[in-house]
Amino acid sequence: MNNRFSWFNATSLTFGFAFLYIPILLLVIFSFNESKLVTVWAGWSTKWYGSLLQNQSLKDAAWVTIRVAFVSATVATVLGTLAALALTRMGRFRGRTLFSGMIFAPLVMPDVITGLSLLLVFVALNIDRGIGTITLAHITFTMCYAAVVVQARLQDFDKSVEEAAMDLGATPVRTFFQVTLPIIAPSVVSAWLLAFTLSLDDLVIASFTTGPGATTLPMKIYSQVRLGVTPEINAISTILIGIVTFGVLCAAYFSRRQTQRAERERRLAFGATD
């Protein structure tokens, strides 16, 4: 693409980003509103954050959500990384088309279908529904996102370093841990973060697969939102937005530093021939 950045481009970006960010900004600002009316400003206050701390059922839901997200993101990242290796490094194998179909289809599958079908499996297998089944369900759909993120990195790095390690006698396992994994590490970290936030956000799949006593934060928020807009929901939303923003910014910072370092090493290694 050429680099003549026109007024038209600047205007469309300005309006586009305004559209993306103004709703979120309004929500954050009005979480600090003194008034109970969400759209009428009555001065700064942090009282809604205080009342959140008193709300035991909300805190319980948050704890359930964090445990589910942590476990499912971790398992999903391991399975997703294996799936990414299978797609990029294992050549042709029996059932490959079906495999890649099962990786890509969940990315676009409507949540209501995924939720219903997972629930029916749990019923068929006679698994007690609760935190465990939500976690299994979340692993299933987030591992596909993890696989796509890691796969993108695996296919654009120089395979010759892996081949060199194997030629020098390293076993495939050793090559993976000493050569491949350090190179793809930033993408594995972002796959984990993506899986974590997707699990943190999910309402529909969790609602289908939950059982008595297991309520996640999105389920809690959803049941309150249906009753109307309250400053308390604004406050909890602001906290969640803050956590996610911080996480994404950290991930971006580390991955940029990593690429800069890789670039520098590449220059040193190939400096003489470049």
Nearer to another protein, 14 or 51 (CB): 14
Least distance between another protein and beta carbon 15 (Å): 8
Only one of the segments 48-56, 66-74, 177-185, 221-229 lies at the binding site for another protein (rule: CB under 8 A); that segment is: 221-229
Output the smallest distance, CB 266 to another protein, in A: 19
Q: What is the dihedral of CA 49, 62, 190, 154, to 10 degrees?
A: -160
Backbone angles phi, psi at 33, to 5 degrees: -85, 140
CA distance 63 to 44: 29
* Shorter beta-carbon distance to another protein: residue 88 or 187: 88
Q: Is 231 exposed, middle or buried (0-12, 13-18, 19+ CB in 10 A)?
A: buried
102: amino acid identity, one letter: M
The pair of structure tokens assigned to 119 is: 């629930």
Q: Between 5 and 272, whose beta carbon lies closer to another protein?
A: 5
Site size for another protein (CB under 8 A):
93
Which is nearer to another protein, 95 or 271 (by Cβ)? 95
Torsion of Cα atoms, 84 then 88 then 90 then 95, to 10°: 70
Token reading at 43 = 């001065």
Span interacting with another protein, options 50-58, 179-187, 203-211, 261-269, rule CB under 8 A: 203-211
Which parts of 34-93 interact with another protein (CB under 8 A)?
38-39, 79-80, 82-83, 85-90, 93
The residue among 94 and 272 lying less far from another protein, judged by its C-beta, is 94
d(CA 150, CA 225): 36
**Is there a contact between 52 and 232 (Cβ–Cβ < 8 Å)?**
yes
What angle separates helix 217-225 from helix 56-89, to the nearest 10 degrees? Answer: 120
Query: Minimal CA–CA distance to 206: which of 119, 122, 77?
Result: 119
Q: Which residues pair with 33 in a beta bridge?
A: 44
Residue from 100, 127, 170, 211 touching another protein (CB under 8 A): that is: 100
Beta bridge partners of 44: 33
Question: Interface residues for another protein in 4-23 (CB under 8 A)?
Answer: 4-6, 8-10, 12-13, 16-17, 19-21, 23
Rule CB under 8 A: choose which of 66, 183, 185, 248 binds another protein. Answer: 248
Nearer Cβ to another protein (51/273)? 51
105 near 224, Cβ under 8 Å?
A: no
Q: Which parts of 112-171 interact with another protein (CB under 8 A)? A: 112-113, 116-118, 120-121, 123-124, 136-137, 139-140, 143, 147, 151-152, 155-156
- 131 Cβ contact list (under 8 Å, min separation 6): 64, 67, 68, 214
Quick one: which of 18, 105, 164, 250 contacts another protein (CB under 8 A)? 105
Q: Determine which residue in the list 108, 227, 268, 272 makes contact with another protein, applying CB under 8 A.
A: 108
Q: Looking at 95, 169, 212, 271, which residue binds another protein (CB under 8 A)?
A: 95
* Identity of the residue, 61 or 271, whose beta carbon is nearer to another protein in the bound complex: 61
Q: Which one of 77, 207, 210, 215 is in contact with another protein (CB under 8 A)?
A: 207
Please give the structure tokens belonging to residue 146.
Answer: 């993890």
